[in-house]
A and B are shown apart, each in its own frame.
Chain A
Amino acid sequence: MKESFNTFVIADPNKCIGCKACEVACSSVHNEENNIGYTVGTMTTPVIPRLYLVKNEKFCAPIQCRHCEDAPCANACPNKAIKQEGDIIYIDENCIGCKTCLMACPIGAIELLPHYKNEEKVIQLGLEEEKLIAYKCDLCKGKETKACIEACPQNALRLVDIKEDKKNKNIKAALGLMNL
């Protein structure tokens, strides 16, 4: 068995105010190849977040990839474009936009959107149509910080260590017994 589970980011709906700062931050740090600088004026391609604010009358919270241990997206990908590296599951450049992963994902964490390079839409050679690829949270692969967690003004997002989480809950449960 693996020594540790994949980590993932999760939101606390009681803290989330729905500002979408996480989405904007996510998109900006994933767009280096589109010459994005420090300010909004340099964002010349549409915002392509990898987490999605879900909002209705009662709650709001961003939803993103859980980095499943038996990842249905990876199992389903016919082109082997979904890879595991360390405790992160990411989609690489082999994605052909076949949408299988979208259908397989149980929480809707994957989106199919245009591919931009150097601020322009990438065009598919065969059809002269815009090329669409799958996007999902890669936990800011290669970077030290998680953009969404850092950008959240409410500290509503956190990186989950599921083993630690379980241990803490066990301790709380044990302490609860003392009050019986």
Chain B
Amino acid sequence: MIVNIDKEICTGCRRCASVCPVDAIEGKQGEAQSINEDKCIICGQCVQICSAYSSEFEEETTPIDIKLKERGMLETVKEPLFAAYNVCDVEKVKNSLSNDKLYTVVQCAPAVRVALAEDFGLDLGSLTDKKLAAVLRRMGFDRVYDTNFSADLTIMEEGSELIKRVSENSNLPMFTSCCPAWVKFMEQEYPELLNHLSSCKSPQQMAGAIFKTYGADIDNVDAKDIFSVSVMPCTCKKFECDRDEMNSSGYKDVDVVITTRELGYLIKDMGIDFKYIEEETFDNPLGDYTGAGTLFGTTGGVMEAAIRTGYELITKESIPNIDINSVRGQNGVTKSSIDVGDIKLNVAVVSGLENVRPILEDIKNNKSDLHFIEVMTCPEGCISGGGQPKVILDKYKKMAYDNRKESLYTHDGECGVRKSHENNSIKKLYDEFLGEPLGEKSHHLLHTEYASRKEKC
């Protein structure tokens, strides 16, 4: 299990159950809870809300150092331990970095750079993209790449897929497939609608597959020697990288995933001064990104990025307004209609997984007029993910999410290039390696299939 509840610490308050979108948390009020693994989608919202901590001063409970070990955490971690937690994979990263035979490559999701600094005492939502790049390089990674790059790549593939489906009027509406918790939910609860999911892998997995193929070629290293690490705001990304089919490079595409919080532990453990480190940039070409790629970190971001590119690919004209405020959602459902040339695209942005059920029921009953739907499991998309810095006081949560979101939009605005299809490194990747979106190579490396898990539930 990736997400667990420590029975010794749990007081049975069931606040975790109140935020679980799939009712996976079982147990009586006042008694220790457990997680039903078949229902759980590993979103980690329980980890975010849990406030039942283990007191270092209570002698009858298991000592903290033993608990740290049980959770895979480093012994240098000083923060309090709460009942709901995710397993920690930093040890694997530490080992890979000290292994000279490995060529270590790291990617970093967009939501990480607007939250990591909080665990070092900086303001909520501080944007630290360049510090992040510097810190990863200082840790010893051979290549400091970026998930934002493959977010741009996702837009190329997913945008093309949407255009194809709309022109063929098949399997509509199409759902995004970037959020692994949402994908797991579909496989568990609505397998009959799996053909509505985009066949695109998530940016994390696209990046992993590219790093060990094209990336290996350009760096002239053997793919088998590449150790691919991913830093994510999400606990379910750990599950995603372990899926059987995620080895299209011939090796495990992403070897290990750590969360934003776990990266914080590692930086502190290595004694790197994050606050004052001199800024650097991500490596090229696979760390080159546009503002559109950055937007993936918040709800509505994939939609906005897709529209920026889709509009221009369909109409062959420049989009009149690059900021598409109508799709910038919040927790809930945001619906809008977008004119793309002669086509009126009905789109919806869903955040907070429980909000998607009515839409799925409509599709089942042939009552949906939507074409494209973005779904993110967490309340405001990845910025409020289960692996993000955990806000101590509930009263600051809104501010944290608002500031993280604002930072992403600021970052988008500051990017010289703000449309995925204008990313020169992406163009080069297609010219030199992939050929074209939805082509044979793309199909093999960047797309996947889904299977029902319903019998288990």
Q: Do A and B bind each other?
A: yes
Interface residues of B in 257-295 (CB under 8 A from A): 261, 264
Q: Give chain B interface residues in 317-332, CB to chain A under 8 Å.
A: none
Are B11 and A41 closer than 8 Å at their CB atoms? no
**Chain B proximity mask over A119-151: 1 for CB below 8 Å, otherwise 0:** 000000000000000000000000000010011
A38 touches B11 (CB 8 A): no
The interface size of chain B toward A, counting residues with CB under 8 Å, comes to 35
Contacts of B29 in A (CB 8 A): 17
Could you tell me if A46 and B57 are in contact, using CB atoms closer than 8 angstroms? yes
- A170 contacts the other chain (Cβ, under 8 Å)? no
Q: Which of B14, B30, B261 contacts A60 (CB 8 A)?
A: B30
**Does A47 lie at the interface of the complex (its beta carbon under 8 Å from any beta carbon of B)?**
yes
**Chain B contacts of A19 at CB under 8 A?**
11, 13, 15, 51-52
Complex contact A41–B118 (CB within 8 A): yes
User: Would you call A75 an interface residue if the criterion is a C-beta within 8 Å of the partner chain's C-beta atoms?
Assistant: no
Q: Which residues of A contact B400 (CB under 8 A)?
A: 38-39
Counting CB contacts under 8 A, is A115 at the interface? no
Which of B57, B120, B123, B396 has a CB less than 8 Å from the CB of A41?
B120
CA of A46 to CA of B78, assembled, Å: 8
Contact with A along B118-132 (1 / 0, CB 8 A): 111111100000000
Q: Mark A37-48, 1 if CB is under 8 A from B, else 0.
A: 111111111110
| B344 on the A face (CB < 8 A) | no
A20: interface (CB < 8 Å): yes
Known interface pairs A19-B51, A24-B80, A43-B80. Does A38 touch B392 (Cβ–Cβ under 8 Å)? Answer: yes
How far apart sit A45 and B123, CA to CA, in the bound complex (Å)?
20
Residues of B within 8 A of A150 (CB): 393, 395
Residues of B1-34 contacting chain A, CB below 8 A: 11-15, 29-30
Closest to A45 in B: B78
Enumerate chain B residues within 8 angstroms of A40, measured Cβ to Cβ: 79-80, 82, 119, 261, 389-392
Given the complex of chains A and B, what is the CA–CA distance between A77 and B57 in angstroms? 24
Interface residues of B in 89-129 (CB under 8 A from A): 118-124
Known: A28-B393, A41-B119. A20 touches B51 (CB 8 A): yes
Docked complex Cα distance between A23 and B400 (Å): 21
B53 contacts the other chain (CB 8 A): yes
CB <8 Å contact, B79 and A43: yes
**Interchain pairs with CB closer than 8 A, number:** 110
Q: Judge whether B219 is part of the interface by a CB distance below 8 angstroms.
A: no
**B244 at the binding interface (Cβ < 8 Å):** no
In contact, A24 and B392 (Cβ under 8 angstroms)? yes
Q: Is A168 engaged at the interface, CB distance under 8 Å to the other chain?
A: no
Bound state CA distance, A126 and B182, in angstroms? 60
B394 at the interface (CB under 8 A from A): yes
Among the interface residues B14, B78, B79, B392, which one has the most CB atoms of the partner chain A within 10 A? Answer: B392
Q: Out of B56, B119, B394, name the residue touching A39 (CB < 8 Å).
A: B119
Per the bound structure, the CA–CA distance linking A158 and B119 in Å amounts to 31
C-alpha spacing A46/B77, complex, angstroms: 11
Q: Which residues of A contact B425 (CB under 8 A)?
A: none
Q: A42 contacts B120, CB within 8 Å? A: yes
Across the interface, which residues of A come within 8 angstroms of B123, CB to CB? Answer: 38
A25 — which chain B residues lie within 8 A by C-beta?
392-393
Chain A, range 27-78, C-beta contacts under 8 Å to B: 28, 35-47, 53, 55, 57, 60
Query: Which of A18, A53, A111, A151 has its CB near the most chain B CB atoms (within 10 A)?
Result: A18
A21 interfacial contact with B, CB 8 Å: yes
Contact A47 B55 (CB under 8 A): yes
Bound together, the chains give a CA A39 to CA B394 distance in angstroms of: 11
Q: Is A113 an interface residue (CB 8 A)?
A: yes
Beta-carbon nearest neighbor of B400 in chain A: A38
Given known pairs A19-B52, A23-B53, the reply for A43 and B392 (CB within 8 Å) is yes
B374-401, CB < 8 A from A: 389-396, 400
Residues of chain A whose beta carbon lies under 8 Å from any beta carbon of chain B: 17-21, 23-25, 28, 35-47, 53, 55, 57, 60, 111, 113, 147, 150-151, 153
